[in-house]
Amino acid sequence: MAIYKGRGVCAMNYPIGMNLGGDPSQALVHSNPDGKFTVTLSSIDLGQGMKSVSRQVAAETLGVPVADVYVDTADSDTGPQCMGSFASRGTHRVGNAVIAAAKEARAVMLEAAAEELEVNAVDLETDGLGNILVKGAPGRSITTQEACNVAQFKYGQSVSGRGIFLIPMSDVDPDTGEMTTVSCFAHMAMIVDLEVDDETGEVFNVRMNSAYEVGRALNPKLVEQQLVGGAWMGLSHALYETTEPCYPSRDHRPYSFSSYPMPGPGDLASHGISILERPAPDGPFGGKGVGEMCANPVLPAVANAIYDAVGVEMDELPMTAEKILRAIRAKAGRAGDNG
């Protein structure tokens, strides 16, 4: 009949992307009549920021303002092939493909600018504001819009580019089982503090503190948002959510939000987050992926904290009050204590 405090830890090396039949993503970039650019992808933005990050990466590579780039995603009829938005691969795989495509388009744009300015293309630079300047002679310049127009109307060149980024398939060594994912890894560690009531099995006063190493945070606010929301979803899976509470019987499966338990705004856990940036050598401007890494570690950390608090090993999700209480009673029974 007491409240027990517990602390659990989880640390993780998280691989970005996958290694099934190889892991390619493609991107196409082209200039438009108004001097702006379209990036065409098949990757999905489901709110995590795929479009924003692709837009930033394309603008940075092309040397134009972010406002001059439009990203057209999620249409596999018109977009080039992409394996998809999963396995936290979007920023890393698609970002690299966008860089490759934008570099090709940029080269055509700079060639046209070089002809107009009567210099060599290697002597040109972009200012990120839509101007192409001669290095050391900034008075001699042409706008990116003009360059794209003359490329087309005067020189018959298409300011466009194709990009693909592939992590090739790695076969498993039949003798050793060894394989290489040839992927980059993100890292994290999390501490969960919580309290368990041994009379009811209830878990409450959950506090999370975590550190995530994400390569370069290409869009720091989006990274933070993903970490906050993802950890909450992990906590929800740890303590509340299940589609099949009476599995394997499906008779009692939830059919509405009233019978599918999820924490609401009143059930929040505090979460302190540190974001560490260590740019990945093979990432787009050093970026890795944070996607699933923010949700996964919460589950084992909560299980460890419950064990620390009341000494029961929870091996089934979600870790509801009922299951925890049953485990506490079973343990007490084995110990010959009817408490």
* Contact positions vs another protein (CB under 8 A): 46-48, 221-222, 224-226, 228-229, 231-233, 256-258, 262, 264-266, 268, 271
Tell the residue number behind the tokens 């992307």, with chain if given.
17
The rounded distance, in Å, linking the Cα atoms of 295 and 305 is 16
The nearer residue to another protein, 144 or 226, going by C-beta atoms, is 226
The nearer residue to another protein, 127 or 224, going by C-beta atoms, is 224
**212, 186 in Cβ contact below 8 A?**
yes
Could you write out the DSSP letters of every residue in 306-338?
A: HHHHH-----SSS--HHHHHHHHHHHHHHTT--
Q: How many CB atoms lie within 10 A of CB 332?
A: 15
The nearer residue to another protein, 179 or 262, going by C-beta atoms, is 262
Q: What's the min distance (Å) between Cβ of 82 and another protein?
A: 19
Q: What's the min distance (Å) between Cβ of 110 and another protein?
A: 35
Comparing C-alpha atoms, which of 106, 182, 188, 189 is closest to residue 151?
A: 106
Element (H, E) at 8: strand 3-15
Cα 114 to chain center, whole Å? 38
The nearer residue to another protein, 122 or 255, going by C-beta atoms, is 255
The nearer residue to another protein, 47 or 168, going by C-beta atoms, is 47
> Please, is 164 exposed, middle or buried when counting C-beta atoms within 10 Å of its C-beta (0-12, 13-18, 19+)?
middle
The nearer residue to another protein, 229 or 286, going by C-beta atoms, is 229
Phi first, then psi: what are they for 190, rounded to 5°? Answer: -140, 140
The number of residues in the chain equals: 339
Tell the residue number behind the tokens 């994290």, with chain if given.
188
The nearer residue to another protein, 107 or 268, going by C-beta atoms, is 268
Q: What's the min distance (Å) between Cβ of 190 and another protein?
A: 15
Coil, strand or helix at 266 = helix
The rounded distance, in Å, linking the Cα atoms of 91 and 184 is 12
Tell the residue number behind the tokens 């659990």, with chain if given.
8
DSSP assigned state of 285? G
